[in-house]
Every structure is written in C-alpha cells, then in structure tokens.
Amino acid sequence: MIKNVVGASLAVNERLVIRKNRLKNGDGKKRLCIVTGIHGDELEGQYLAYLIGSKIKENISLLNGTVDIYPALNPTGIDSITRGIPLFDLDMNRIFPGTSEGTMPETICAGIIEDISGADICIDVHSSNIFLKELPQIRINVNSADVLIPYAKMLNVDLIWVHESATVLESTLAFSLNSTGTKTLVVEMGVGMRITKEYCFQLCEGVFNLMKQLGMWSGDVTAVREPIVSLNGAVGFVNSDAAGIFVPCVDFGETVSAGNHIGDVLDPLSGEVAEKVNAVCDGMIFTLREYPIVFGGSLLARILQTKGA
C-alpha cells in the first residue's frame, strides 16, 4: 500500500510528498525499513527498492511482518539531479532529526524520523557521489559498532567500515535513528547517477537474508559472503596532489602493495604526466575515482589496509 509519510506545499500548485510502500503480511511484528534517495544524485537504491518491492509482492505469502520501502526521501532532488534539497542548497543528511516546529526541510526530516522510529532495522542506501565508485559496503559509527556489526554481516556486502565518530555526522538520518534506539545501517555502493545491477542484486540477496534471520521471510535465500570488517584507521586514502585527468591502471577491487603504481594524473594541454599515483599502503582498492577531472586534493582511491601505511 502506498502511503504519504509527510509533505509540504511548494510555491506553485504542487506538494512535496515523501511516500513509502508498506508491504505487510502475517501476524509478525517485525518491521524493516529500506530508505534511499536522501541525496538526489545517488540512484543505486532506486533499483534496489524496485527489486525488493517486486520480489515481496510476487511472494507476499512468504513475508511475515512489515517492510516499508521509502525510495525517495529527497524527491525534488532526484527529479532534478540535485544532491541536496533544491532551493535550499542544503544537504538533507545534515538536518536530521529535524523538528516539527522548524522550516520545511526540518519538518520533512522530523516526519521521516517519526515514521521510521521503532522499526527493528532500517537500511539507508547511498551510492557515493558522481565522482567515486564504491564496493558494496556498510559504514558504521564506532559508537554503534557492537550493536550493528552482527546485522551488517547478514547483508551480503564486501566490507564493513567502522569509522570514527564526528560531531558533524550527528545530523545524519542514521545517527539520529541509532541514537534513539532504531538500529540503522548505512550502505554505500556503486556510483552516483548510475545503477550497477550486480551490486543491487548482491544487496537484495543480503536484505532477504536479513529478513530470514529476523524471522520475516520464509522463502529460500542464498548464502551471503563474509565481509571484511575494517576497524578504525585501517583505510588508506589516496588523494591527488596535481590537477588534470586521472587515468587509473588498476581495477576496482584489486589488491595492491604500498608503492604500486595505480594510475596517473595527466595534463591534456602539455601532454605530460602531472603526477604518478602510487598506493599508500598494502590492501584492496574499494573506492576508485570514476570522474576523471581532478584538482589537488581530489580523492582518487581508498585502500582497505592490510599492513601499516
């Protein structure tokens, strides 16, 4: 059943409405929320939402509980290829938990939080941005790691990245929900403005495995992969120092050693190599730059570290 979660009237003849699809069967009390589309340029979750929704609808008798799918928390952003909330230039994932007495974005965020709160698990699906491609992974604030890692392992991702807490991240959907007792997992996979079908299939299998483990799904599920769990500090960052076009010479997911040549920043005008880019540590490349134009500082790769950098 399609439901309106929260809305507000826009200036001219239109309402901004956040909608969800509630799929419910049996007498199970468990509730799973799949949310995506906070950033309007991240689209991997759209296909995932479709895959989960269509499979459940076709096999509704196998569901015991409630699955709420929120494909577009920032509908005007998705509609206009805008990462933040159009007009406000605000990153929606820095406004949570919002407030019912606040501005339009704040009231929308408060309505979303109110609707999701109390779910047994919430999965917030992101797809990096238009610049970087990510291996399917779950990112967890170190403060929530003990509680969330067991569930994250059920989701068929390649990597669980436990990162340090930062005050600025206290305004995210995931932090707001986790801090009030609704377990929320943040998935990053693929690249902005694209759909990577194999990643969506991979995570979809993980979601049904999670549902099975929660007692919400009685259908068959496939065995999930054992993710690598990266504890804090075990990630090497490779940033460009030069400006130009980045052309990698390694593949996504490849294992490299510290000092290995992983790509070049090239100067199209002079025809020279502006910077030879090397791995900063041993490990697996789980983030790789997709958009070639770089400035000094542009992130080129992240390496899941296996030895000291």
Partner 1 sequence: MRKEILYSLRSPYRESLDIIGFKFGGEEKTLAVVGAMRGNEVQQMYVCSKLISQLKILEAAGEISQSRGIMVVPCVNYYSMNIGKRFWTMDNTDINRMFPGYELGETTQRIADGLFRKIQGFEYGIQMVSFYQPGNFLPHVKIMETGFTDSNLMKLFGMRFGIVRTPRPYDTTTLNYNWQIWETKAFSMYTNETSRIDENSANEAVEGILRFMANTGMITKKIHSGYQTEIISENSISQIHSKTGGLFISIVKMGAQVAKNELLGKVCDPLDGELSSEIRADCSGIVYFEYSDPLINENTVCFKIIRD
Catalog residues that contact partner 1 under the rule CB under 8 A: 8-13, 16, 83-84, 87-90, 94, 102-104, 106-107, 129, 131, 167-171, 237, 239, 242-245, 267-269, 293-299
Q: Which is nearer to partner 1, 55 or 83 (CB)?
A: 83
Q: Which is nearer to partner 1, 156 or 176 (CB)?
A: 176
What are 77's two structure tokens?
A: 């952003």
Using the minimum distance from each CB to partner 1, give the nearer residue, 20 or 83: 83
Tell me the C-alpha distance between 223 and 207, whole Å: 12
Taken in order 127, 132, 138, 142, the sign of the CA dihedral is negative
Nearer to partner 1, 16 or 149 (CB): 16
The 3-state secondary structure of the chain, one letter per residue: CEEEEEEEECCCCCEEEEEEEEEEECCCCCEEEEEECCCCCCCHHHHHHHHHHHHHHHCHHHECEEEEEECCCCHHHHHCCCCCECCCCECHHHCCCCCCCCCHHHHHHHHHHHHHCCCCEEEEEECCCCCEEEEEEEEEEHHHHHHHHHHHHHHCCCEEEEECCCHHHHHCHHHHHHHCCCCEEEEEEECCCCCCHHHHHHHHHHHHHHHHHCCCECCCCCCCCCCEEECCCCEEEEECCCCEEEEECCCCCCEECCCCEEEEEEECCCCEEEEEEECCCCEEEEEEECCCEECCCCEEEEEEECCCC
Q: How far is the CB of 15 from partner 1 (least distance, A)?
A: 8
Of residues 92 and 155, the one with the C-beta less far from partner 1: 92
Minimum distance from residue 296 beta carbon to partner 1 (Å): 6
Instruction: Identify which of residues 103 and 143 has a Cβ nearer to partner 1 in the complex.
Output: 103
Minimum distance, C-beta of residue 157 to partner 1, in the bound complex (Å): 24
CB of 133 to partner 1, least distance (A): 15
Closer residue to partner 1, CB minimum distance, 106 or 114: 106
Minimum CB distance to partner 1 smaller for 25 or for 171: 171
CA quadruple 246, 285, 35, 61: dihedral, nearest 10 = 130
Query: Shortest Cβ distance from residue 80 to partner 1 (Å)?
Result: 13
Residue 137 CB, nearest distance to partner 1 (Å)? Answer: 19
